[in-house]
Structure 1
């Protein structure tokens, strides 16, 4: 086995920037046996530099005011008018955002392309309000920042900070109403090739665990569920080991609006969870390849989740 030159570790984990997409130097591996103390020092220096870089980046991505509805990656002109224009919204804690959260959008995109009824115009992350009070919930500014860092490599995903900026907790149906207001009232919908406009269909993107929570007594107002599923609709990403179809059949409101519920099967099962990522950070275990590098550097730079207390039931 040819060991890696310890000097190249200083650039291995640099946060993503648009300029870093191009390689500026060739990748070489030298047959040099590294000195362990030198490698440790180099690794420590590398992490320190990455932390400083992440802190510098944070000043921009953590800014949430003044509020502006994000449209930088939104498709504004529909290219296939015979299809229904669609925007997906994922509501959640995202503490932290993981590769599974990003994959949910990509799996939904694959389903949309295969199905042929919709044209995807964009996707949004909407981090929950701090008043949600969930264990392990980082501040809104940090969660918005991590979502922005994760979405920066996408050409169609965006992060909306409206929900956490509200004075109190915001119900999911109110978040969808907000997107309907911004997309269809403020922007007037999506433009067609002939210059006219039509309304955009807004749907909730959710994992199987969120959908199963619909059956938890007193957690969701029935009126809200009727509006979420009846007026908007929902894409459900199957969760490992969960039978979404069986739950849909057993839940009266879901079954009533089943024509607006689309179940997306995971062809490659992924059970990365934010809870486990937080636990790994607390235990000083690696989270690389569980979250985007830029998110990882942000967590380390700001020492997030170091002292979190997770109930055992949340991890198992």
Structure 2
């Protein structure tokens, strides 16, 4: 894929290059939200996935579909939209491509593969690190205070429930003492709630023991077909010169090859003295579901 093709994809989706975006000219990307509820008896729900997405994988995309199916058959929610919210550059994580590359890759990933998953650049437009709770508060404000909710189909509007969507790794970090601020956990899990996709090798039950007070708002989604593809493994494949095709969307693969991403991560880290990733103890471990 050439650079012109990349720009065309973003332009056709109404997604301008991040270089031209600022917080001052930011507008909430509501184009892919459902305009009306299909079932006026249900509660509208928007799923938000916060993470590095360096790069986004097919598992990141599949997570939204699994959650939508779960909501349709197991809850009273109707999913009216889903959003990737890539973490900003201030996160300082090893292997983290620039915010511009990650926002472009997530947009390219959803453009052809989904009609209801979008990408919100609000978080990575900030120069400072934003904890997950502030990102969820942002979505709640835009959907309910600014938009006024979702139309029920009879002229009335209903408040949208915002929930965090993540992999099982997130619950493990939340159960680790001192890693998340207690007040953040209370608002994220108590007020918003979370949909967590099971992942092989992760014991969710053990992680949930210390989160029992919020257990009713943590919905665990079984992963019926095991998939342990992670961004970390994709980056490792690139460093070793191996193919990454069919683990992540084809056009994202093309974008990575075109821009030479991840192939020299190992050299970069050595040059930096193998700088350790920074985890904000008052915020969150943002790389979910994979690193």
Q: Give the structure-1-normalised TM-score.
A: 0.79
Structure 1 residues not aligned, in runs of 5+? 1-49
Kept after mapping to 2: 8 A contact 1:237/1:264: yes
Q: CA deviation at 1:217?
A: 3.2
Say whether 1:125 aligns with 2:84: yes
Tell me what 1:164 maps to: 124
Taking the aligned partners of 1:62 and 1:277, their CA distance within structure 2 comes to 26
SS of the residue aligned with 1:257? helix
Residue by residue over 1:111-142, the C-alpha shift from the partner in whole angstroms, topping out at 9 and shown as x without a partner, is 11111411110100000011111110000000
Q: Give the stretch that moved more between structures: 189-198 or 138-147.
A: 189-198
SS of the residue aligned with 1:90? strand
Taking the aligned partners of 1:247 and 1:56, their CA distance within structure 2 comes to 42
Q: CA deviation at 1:53?
A: 4.9
Tell me what 2:214 maps to: 257
SS of the residue aligned with 2:164? strand
Alignment of 1:184-199 (within 5 A): 184-199=144-159
1:63 to 17, 24, 41: 17
RMSD: 2.0
Q: Give the stretch that moved more between structures: 192-201 or 137-146.
A: 192-201
1:287 to 231, 244, 254: 244
Alignment of 1:147-158 (within 5 A): 147-152=106-111, 153-158=113-118
Tell me what 2:286 maps to: none
- Structure with larger RCO (C-alpha < 8 A, sep 6+): 2
Kept after mapping to 1: 8 A contact 2:10/2:108: no
2:166 to 181, 197, 206: 206
Taking the aligned partners of 2:195 and 2:103, their CA distance within structure 1 comes to 23
Say whether 1:246 aligns with 2:206: yes
Alignment of 1:102-121 (within 5 A): 102-121=61-80
Taking the aligned partners of 1:167 and 1:120, their CA distance within structure 2 comes to 31
2:228 to 249, 271, 276: 271
Q: Give the structure-2-normalised TM-score.
A: 0.85
Tell me what 2:189 maps to: 229
Kept after mapping to 2: 8 A contact 1:124/1:159: yes
Paired residues, number: 262
Q: Are the structure 2 counterparts of residues 78 and 283 from structure 1 closer, same or farther at C-alpha, using a change threshold of 3 Å?
A: same
2:46 to 87, 93, 97: 87
Alignment of 1:138-153 (within 5 A): 138-152=97-111, 153=113
Taking the aligned partners of 2:3 and 2:114, their CA distance within structure 1 comes to 24
